[in-house]
Amino acid sequence: AQSVTQLDSQVPVFEEAPVELRCNYSSSVSVYLFWYVQYPNQGLQLLLKYLSGSTLVKGINGFEAEFNKSQTSFHLRKPSVHISDTAEYFCAVSDLGGSTLGRLYFGRGTQLTVWP
């Protein structure tokens, strides 16, 4: 079974500062990794995903994440945040295939709050 741990439930940061949202996972098999953003009372929007290849993945809105297999981590980073980045961020893992194809296991989420 897979599990995801987001180490910080809340991350406050000032505008234009860098930010890192941490995510660790555990799995007995290879997985795909995802970061999603959720604005209040809305569904989830995909920020980026790691499937294979380069361990540094670039996504939308200036976000990037680095897959570290040895540390089983997939931390999300942005060099300079904007107030509009204030939202809940979810890290998720997915099985590679089989009958559970597409099932996502989510972390508890990290609330990013950007202050002016």
Partner 1 sequence: GAVVSQHPSWVICKSGTSVKIECRSLDFQATTMFWYRQFPKQSLMLMATSNEGSKATYEQGVEKDKFLINHASLTLSTLTVTSAHPEDSSFYICSAREYQPEGWGQSTEAFFGQGTRLTVV
53 binds partner 1, rule: CB under 8 A: no
Nearest distance from residue 78's CB to partner 1, in Å?
Answer: 21
Report in angstroms how near the CB of residue 80 gets to partner 1 at its nearest: 25
Per CB under 8 A, 48 contacts partner 1 = no
Instruction: Name, in order, each residue with C-beta under 8 angstroms of 80's C-beta and a sequence gap of 6 or more.
Output: 16, 17, 18, 62
Tell which one of 28, 43, 69, 70 touches partner 1 (CB under 8 A): 43
Q: Are 73 and 17 within 8 A, CB to CB?
A: no
Residue from 28, 41, 54, 70 in contact with partner 1 (CB under 8 A): 41
User: How far apart are alpha carbons 50 and 65 in whole angstroms?
Assistant: 8
